């Protein structure tokens, strides 16, 4: 059975189901896990994406708390509870809303361990959703991972499969440091041919996944762009180009070893993200590949990313804004030409 | 555990004085050490505000927590922050409570409940709520204090925090030390309503304005807020009226403070006032208080000497405490 056929034979699950299961299992395993955010508890419907539906009924109103629309207060409460030994998962509904809590995240969550000389720590998870595709315009779907990746003391991860979503969220909750867990809205409810993992499944933070092996070109990506990269790789294979797809999974700290090993092997690298290309995470990855492998590459590292504009509303503009499988395929053909 | 009494008797007043004397002496030493060039640091003098944290320290337990701000060394010493670890941190040495990585604006000492010191105006409040939530989850009657200035009463974080504390009925006590100046700006010029305590009404929580330089009034107001929080009755906002003697940061010329206002405040210096009263009331003799003060000076001498004799951190220390696991060299 080919890998593709084997995957097709697996039951289909969604990322949303995986995250909901990870939440439930983490609450069942550790009484110190708590959560807060707008509309999270059952009287408010279990969150806008229903991910926490049932959680407050199962584990109580003390551990699962709906909050006012107050992102600074949400982040502060998460930080304070973590200082006292709890493991809060704070939902900041949309990634753009992290901007109103940046002081709490950047000045406090990320820095308290260092500034206290290691006396305190902030083992929180910030769950946040984002991603274009619904015509939400400029303030509801930005990818802002580079801002946090640029902040020492905070880890950033994003999954592109249900298995990774489960394993990363469980690992993030257990991690001793603050983690931003970015969820992609448009791929939330897309059934994917993966298993819903067992409760001991973990994806270690800082470890990338080689999701497809290849020898001509490496595509490094994460989140929805990894889904698009896999589709592009499938198409490229049909056209005789062997593509290796590396899903970073953790954007900060990222897995240099895996990326550099793949780059050494193929000599051609394309980095793809939905976030604005300029000063994005791809720039850091390209720079490190250049520093480590200069002279050993067959082509300069290529970067694909969002346009240098706000995310637009109108469908043709939104379609033009971010890379997709077609544009990744075009870049693959270009780099191997 | 039974609640502390709500009225400060002479025994309590003497204890408050001992704390206030330590705070006053420590501030005087800090300014002296900076002027002598022994330690170079950014310093926000709290001189004039000593009674508020001395009362808090007298009422609170070690397991009660405090989140304070850059002008907060008085709050920390009031809470029991040890002098050696404090001074070594001010000096940036490895023996400092934060190994020299935090400095005067980020002093931390969890063993005495000093959980966060922030350099960002108002940011003590949202974090204090989380510590209060943890107390609720633990089933503990410990309370969570946040201190901030009158300037912070105009920043959003404090308002978000007061609202959350109200709706979650958290054991958070919001202690605003109103020293009448937000950096260089007069309180009345930038504060709508000119009454911070009254803002508590908007959140349905008690708000009390109290003379923070009057140990008895301060004690009663604070002890009542703590008793409410311990009993699960929710948060209180205290607006403690006071005055800072030496400007926003040490070295500023404080030309924005009217000379008569400053002279009158210094004339009414609350620490010698309490001292004189204790002697007049026969609670302590001049000789007894002089002995207390001499012992304080000796302890500060020891702490400063210890700090200056301690080793500096190594550059390699930058790899540690960013994450739980060190960053690869």
Closest Cα in chain A, distance from residue B134 (Å): 5
Instruction: Please tell me whether residues A217 and A304 are part of one structural domain.
Output: yes
Average pLDDT over all residues of chain A:
96
Helix residue spans in B169-258 (DSSP H): 187-190, 215-230
- Contact present, A276 and A247 (Cβ < 8 Å): no
Instruction: Please tell me whether residues A261 and A221 are part of one structural domain.
Output: yes
Closest Cα in chain B, distance from residue A70 (Å): 6
The tokens for B58 are 């007298």
Q: Is A81 in contact with B128 (Cβ distance < 8 A)?
A: no
Asked whether residue A5 carries a pLDDT value surpassing 70, the answer given is: no
Q: Collapsing DSSP states into helix, strand and coil, what is residue B170? A: coil
Residue that has been written with the tokens 């699962």 in this structure: A64
**Number of domains within chain B:** 1
Cα(A84)–Cα(A61) distance, integer angstroms? 19
CB pairs under 8 A between A and B: 150
Cα(A128)–Cα(A183) distance, integer angstroms? 6
- Label residues B226-265 b or e (16+ Cβ within 10 Å = b): bbbbbeeebbbbbbbbbbbbbbbebeeebeebeeeebeeb
Contacts of B217 (CB under 8 A, 6+ apart): B210, B211
Instruction: Please tell me whether residues A34 and A83 are part of one structural domain.
Output: yes
Q: Does A116 touch chain B (CB under 8 A)?
A: yes
Instruction: Please tell me whether residues A162 and A215 are part of one structural domain.
Output: no
Q: Collapsing DSSP states into helix, strand and coil, what is residue B21? A: helix
Instruction: Please tell me whether residues A44 and A115 are part of one structural domain.
Output: yes
Residue range B40-48: mean pLDDT, rounded: 95
Instruction: Please tell me whether residues A98 and A63 are part of one structural domain.
Output: yes
Q: Which residues of B touch A118 (CB under 8 A)?
A: 99, 320-321
Residue range A129-157: mean pLDDT, rounded: 97
The tokens for A21 are 């299961």
Domain-embedded: residue B98 = no
Confidence of residue B102 (pLDDT cuts 50, 70, 90): very high
The boundaries of the domain holding residue A177 are: 3-184
Asked whether residue B168 carries a pLDDT value surpassing 90, the answer given is: yes
Domain-embedded: residue B3 = no
Q: What is the pLDDT of residues A144-169, one digit of tens each?
A: 999 999 999 999 999 999 999 999 99
Asked whether residue B20 carries a pLDDT value surpassing 90, the answer given is: yes
Residue range A196-216: mean pLDDT, rounded: 97
CATH (domain of A280): 3.40.50.920
Confidence of residue A40 (pLDDT cuts 50, 70, 90): very high
Q: Is B135 in contact with A84 (Cβ distance < 8 A)?
A: yes
Q: Which residues of B touch A85 (CB under 8 A)?
A: 134
Could you list the active site residues of A?
71, 140
Residue range A84-97: mean pLDDT, rounded: 98
Percent of chain B with pLDDT over 90: 96
Confidence of residue B5 (pLDDT cuts 50, 70, 90): confident
Burial of B315 (0-12, 13-18, 19+ CB in 10 A): exposed
Q: Is A114 in contact with B321 (Cβ distance < 8 A)?
A: yes
Q: Which residues of A touch B161 (CB under 8 A)?
A: 72-73, 76
Q: Is A119 in contact with B108 (Cβ distance < 8 A)?
A: yes
Instruction: Please tell me whether residues A158 and A222 are part of one structural domain.
Output: no
Domain-embedded: residue B91 = no
Q: Does A115 touch chain B (CB under 8 A)?
A: yes
Domain-embedded: residue B102 = no
Q: What is the pLDDT of residues A166-200, one digit of tens each?
A: 999 999 999 999 999 999 999 999 999 888 899 99
Task: Identify which of B67, B134, B157 has the shortest CB distance to residue A81.
Answer: B134
Q: In Å, how far are A148, A161, B294 from A165, measured between CA atoms?
A: 19, 6, 62
Q: Which residues of B touch A79 (CB under 8 A)?
A: 126-127, 130
Residue range A34-56: mean pLDDT, rounded: 96
Q: What is the pLDDT of residues B173-191, one digit of tens each?
A: 999 999 999 999 999 999 9
Instruction: Write down the pLDDT at residue B1.
Output: 38
Cα(A322)–Cα(A317) distance, integer angstroms? 9
Q: Which residues of B touch A155 (CB under 8 A)?
A: 323
Q: What is the pLDDT of residues A268-315, one digit of tens each?
A: 999 999 999 999 999 999 999 999 999 999 999 999 999 999 999 999
- Label residues A251-278 b or e (16+ Cβ within 10 Å = b): bbebbbebbbebbeebbbbbbbbbbbbe
Residue range B234-255: mean pLDDT, rounded: 94
The ipTM, to two decimals, is 0.96
Closest Cα in chain A, distance from residue B83 (Å): 16
The mean-pLDDT minimum among A286-300, B11-25, B220-234, B250-264 falls in B250-264
CATH (domain of B224): 3.40.50.970
Q: What is the pLDDT of residues B120-147, one digit of tens each?
A: 999 999 999 999 999 999 999 999 999 9
Asked whether residue A3 carries a pLDDT value surpassing 50, the answer given is: no
Closest Cα in chain B, distance from residue A32 (Å): 9
Instruction: Please tell me whether residues A219 and A282 are part of one structural domain.
Output: yes
Cα(A65)–Cα(A77) distance, integer angstroms? 11
Residue in B with minimal Cα distance to A252: B323
Taking only residues 96 to 115 of chain B, the set having a beta carbon closer than 8 angstroms to any beta carbon of chain A reads: 96-102, 106, 108-110, 115
Asked whether residue B256 carries a pLDDT value surpassing 50, the answer given is: yes
Confidence of residue B253 (pLDDT cuts 50, 70, 90): confident
Residue in A with minimal Cα distance to B140: A84
Confidence of residue B2 (pLDDT cuts 50, 70, 90): very low
Instruction: Write down the pLDDT at residue A6.
Output: 47
Q: Does A316 touch chain B (CB under 8 A)?
A: no
Asked whether residue A68 carries a pLDDT value surpassing 70, the answer given is: yes
Q: Collapsing DSSP states into helix, strand and coil, what is residue B267? A: helix
The boundaries of the domain holding residue B262 are: 10-83+109-305
Q: Collapsing DSSP states into helix, strand and coil, what is residue B133? A: helix
Which secondary-structure segment (H or E) carries B52?
helix B51-59
Q: In Å, how far are A135, A158, B158 from B68, measured between CA atoms?
A: 43, 35, 13
Contacts of B198 (CB under 8 A, 6+ apart): B207, B209
Q: Is B126 in contact with A155 (Cβ distance < 8 A)?
A: no
**Number of domains within chain A:** 2
Instruction: Please tell me whether residues A221 and A310 are part of one structural domain.
Output: yes
Residue in A with minimal Cα distance to B318: A114
Q: Does A62 touch chain B (CB under 8 A)?
A: yes
Closest Cα in chain B, distance from residue A26 (Å): 17
Asked whether residue A323 carries a pLDDT value surpassing 70, the answer given is: yes
Closest Cα partner for B281 from B216, B210, B212?
B216
Instruction: Write down the pLDDT at residue B251.
Output: 87
Q: Which residues of A touch B109 (CB under 8 A)?
A: 119
Instruction: Please tell me whether residues A119 and A223 are part of one structural domain.
Output: no
Instruction: Please tell me whether residues A276 and A175 are part of one structural domain.
Output: no
CATH (domain of A99): 3.40.50.970
Closest Cα in chain B, distance from residue A181 (Å): 17
Instruction: Write down the pLDDT at residue B152.
Output: 94
Q: Is A83 in contact with B115 (Cβ distance < 8 A)?
A: yes
A162: left (phi over 0), alpha (psi -120 to 50) or beta: alpha
Q: Which residues of A touch B126 (CB under 8 A)?
A: 72-73, 75-77, 79-80, 104
Measure the CA angle with vertex A91, ends A89 and A95; round to 5°.
130
- Contact present, B248 and B183 (Cβ < 8 Å): yes
Percent of chain B with pLDDT over 70: 99
Instruction: Write down the pLDDT at residue A138.
Output: 95
Q: Which residues of A touch B108 (CB under 8 A)?
A: 112, 115-117, 119-120
């Amino acid at each position: 059975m080919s890998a593709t056929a084997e995957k097709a034979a697996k039951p289909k699950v969604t990322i949303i189901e995986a995250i909901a299961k990870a939440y439930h299992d983490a609450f069942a395993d550790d009484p110190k896990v708590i959560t807060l955010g707008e509309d999270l508890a059952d009287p408010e419907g279990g969150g806008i994406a229903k991910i926490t539906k049932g959680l407050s009924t199962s584990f109580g109103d003390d551990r699962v708390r709906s909050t006012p629309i107050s992102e600074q207060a949400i982040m502060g409460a998460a930080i304070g509870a973590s200082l006292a030994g709890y493991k809060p998962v704070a939902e900041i509904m949309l990634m753009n809303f992290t901007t109103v809590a940046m002081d709490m995240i950047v000045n406090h969550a990320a820095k308290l361990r260092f500034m206290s000389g290691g006396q305190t720590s902030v083992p929180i998870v910030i769950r946040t959703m984002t991603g274009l595709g619904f015509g939400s315009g400029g303030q509801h779907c930005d990818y802002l991972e580079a801002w946090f990746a640029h902040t020492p003391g905070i880890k950033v991860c994003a999954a592109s499969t249900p298995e990774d979503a489960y394993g990363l969220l469980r690992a993030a909750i257990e991690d001793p440091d603050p983690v931003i867990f970015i969820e992609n809205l448009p791929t939330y409810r897309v059934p994917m041919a993966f298993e819903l993992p067992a409760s001991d499944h973990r994806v270690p933070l800082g470890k990338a996944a080689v999701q497809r092996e290849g020898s001509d070109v490496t595509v490094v990506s994460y989140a929805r762009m990894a889904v698009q990269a896999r589709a592009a790789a499938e198409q490229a294979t049909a056209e005789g180009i062997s593509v290796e797809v590396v899903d970073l999974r953790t954007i900060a700290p990222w897995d240099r070893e895996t990326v550099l090993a793949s780059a050494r092997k193929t000599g051609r690298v394309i980095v793809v993200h939905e976030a604005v290309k300029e000063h994005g995470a791809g720039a850091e990855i390209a720079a490190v590949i250049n520093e480590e492998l200069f002279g050993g590459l067959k082509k300069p590292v290529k970067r694909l990313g969002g346009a240098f504009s706000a995310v637009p509303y109108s469908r043709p503009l939104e379609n033009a804004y971010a890379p997709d499988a077609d544009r990744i395929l075009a870049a693959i053909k270009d780099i191997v030409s | 555990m039974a609640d502390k009494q709500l009225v400060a008797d002479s025994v309590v007043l003497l204890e408050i004085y001992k704390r206030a004397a330590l705070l006053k002496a420590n501030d005087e030493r800090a300014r002296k050490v900076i002027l002598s060039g022994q330690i170079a640091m950014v310093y926000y003098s709290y001189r004039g505000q000593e009674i508020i944290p001395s009362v808090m320290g007298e009422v609170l337990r070690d397991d009660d927590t405090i989140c304070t701000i850059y002008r907060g060394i008085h709050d920390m010493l009031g809470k029991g922050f040890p002098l050696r670890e404090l001074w070594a941190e001010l000096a940036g040495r490895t023996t400092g409570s934060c190994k020299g990585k935090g400095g005067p604006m980020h002093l931390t000492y969890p063993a005495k409940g000093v959980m966060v010191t922030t350099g960002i105006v108002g940011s003590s409040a949202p974090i204090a709520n989380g510590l209060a939530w943890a107390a609720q989850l633990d089933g503990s009657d410990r309370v969570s204090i946040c201190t901030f200035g009158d300037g912070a009463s105009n920043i959003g974080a404090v308002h978000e925090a007061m609202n959350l504390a109200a709706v979650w009925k958290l054991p958070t006590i919001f202690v605003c030390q109103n020293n009448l100046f937000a950096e260089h700006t007069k309180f009345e010029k930038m504060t709508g309503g000119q009454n911070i305590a009254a803002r508590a009404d908007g959140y349905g929580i008690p708000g009390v304005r109290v003379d923070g330089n009057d140990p008895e009034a301060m004690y009663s107001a604070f002890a009542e807020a703590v008793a409410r929080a311990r009993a699960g009755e929710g948060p209180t906002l205290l607006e403690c009226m006071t005055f800072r003697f030496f400007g926003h940061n040490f070295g500023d010329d404080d030309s924005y403070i009217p000379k008569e206002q400053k002279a009158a405040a210094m004339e009414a210096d609350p620490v010698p006032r309490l001292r004189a009263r204790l002697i007049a009331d026969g609670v302590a003799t001049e000789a007894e208080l002089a002995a207390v003060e001499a012992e304080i000076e000796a302890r500060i001498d020891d702490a400063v000497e210890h700090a200056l004799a301690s080793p500096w951190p190594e550059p390699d220390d930058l790899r540690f405490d960013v994450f739980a696991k060190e960053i690869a060299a």
